[in-house]
Amino acid sequence: MWVYWFGKFSLKKLHKANFDKYYKYGTVMKEEFRYGFPLVQIFDPKDIETVMKHQGRCPMRPANEAVAHFRRSCPERYASLGLVNAQGDEWNNLRCKLNPVLLRQKVINQYLPALNDVADDFCSLLRSLRDDNNQVHDILTTLYRFALESVVMLCLDTRLGCLDTEMQLNSEAQLMIDTTMKIFEAYQELYYNLPLWKYFETANYKKMVQAESTAYNIASKYIDRAMEQVRELQESSCLNPEESGLTILMSLLSRKDMDPKDIRMVMVDAIVAGIDTVSNSLVFVLNQLANNPKVQETLYQEIENVLPARTPITAQNVQHLPYLKACIRESFRISPSIPSTVRILQEDVVLSDYQIPKGTPICCHTMVTSRLPQYFDDPDKFIPERWLGKDEMWNCQYAVLPFGSGPRACIGRRFAEQELYTSVAKIIQNFEICSVTSETLECNYRFMVVPDRPITFTFNDR
């Protein structure tokens, strides 16, 4: 790891280092990661497909040891390490309880009316934030507010008021946003740097502990309210765990086999991940649309045809927005929020003619494969049409994996996609988005892919 401390690539530019490694070493290489810890890195979609198809029933990935240590030290708060850091039966037990709730399409669809409302409120907020030139500066800070409002509505059945024009900088909502930023900053430093936290509490370890505790405490207030509602429904015999109309939180709270501590942890993790992934995914797709006006106009015409007179998005009409979905997928190809996926296989596997022993961490660099010309024509250009062909790029499906693949794929994928479809459609319906600079937007790595600078857009009313 010394190359990231003293070499030409910093941890913020880890994705650029991965491109450099591909061009220097080819489709497969081994790197000593963290003090003699071997890590195989692969850059071929066929090899990535092989890894994903050999994950097994309980896929494994390297845990963030600092987070795992902290959660084990707080048994009164955490019953398990959570979906990200748990392994084996512990992970499988938790995932099997969550799948019927979080992957059920009926549950996802019932949130669409509320998501429409949140997206409408966001468009109103954008109007109020514009200056005399219709510009909104540092748009990512506003997108954080949208992402928090929508993910809390999904997870905790409430509105925080993040989209109120008078939201104060010292509000609980702003504290949650700031806390999320601190969590991912600490995660990155703890994961990639010397594990001095094992010997004494380093500044980054303290930062992570404080941030996780703050997020946990804020979310717990709303979970406590929902628990009280569930108890009232149980006492009146009005609660059926199989009823499709129950919200996510109430469905989980009604399960007798679900530890309440796990429910709190899952909700907190979902909120933290949702704030960062949705907001950064949105800023990259909006940037592409702002810099590709012909694409934006094509998308606007599709939305107007399917959703005339600001028709709300429903589970039915969203199926008739293929260009919208293609725009978001193309943005994920160029700027995925998660640049790679790591798996530890429980059997030997052959990748590019190399035999990889079981138990070896294998990093699948999809952010690199998705930008290579042998898999995508004009890979640096934003071309949503590439996803609209008859084969829909099926032969490159493992080159673009923004949510992972297999049993351990992101459990919130469908909700995240629903948020993106709804918000982008509403924004394009209301505004023509223009970029104020010709400067290319680059990425930084902060455990996720984020913009390297503040961004300003012009939002002209349609």
16 and 9 Cβ atoms separated by less than 8 Å: yes
- DSSP for 331-372 reads HHHHS-SS--EEEE-SS-EEETTEEE-TT-EEEE-HHHHTT-
Q: Estimate to the nearest angstrom the gap between the alpha carbon of 214 and the chain centroid.
A: 20
Nearest Cα residue to 50 out of 411, 409, 398, 333: 398
443 carries a ligand binding annotation: no
Q: How far apart are CA 397 and CA 266, in angstroms?
A: 29
Nearest Cα residue to 112 out of 415, 325, 456: 415
SS3 444: strand
Q: How far apart are CA 355 and CA 360, in angstroms?
A: 11
Beta strands in 244-366 (DSSP E): 341-344, 349-351, 354-356, 361-364
167-176, Cβ contacts within 8 angstroms, sequence gap of 24 or more = 172/218, 173/145, 173/148, 173/149, 175/214, 175/218, 176/148, 176/214, 176/215, 176/218, 176/271, 176/275
Q: How far apart are CA 371 and CA 396, in angstroms?
A: 11
Residues annotated within the binding site for heme are: 410
Residues annotated within the binding site are: 410
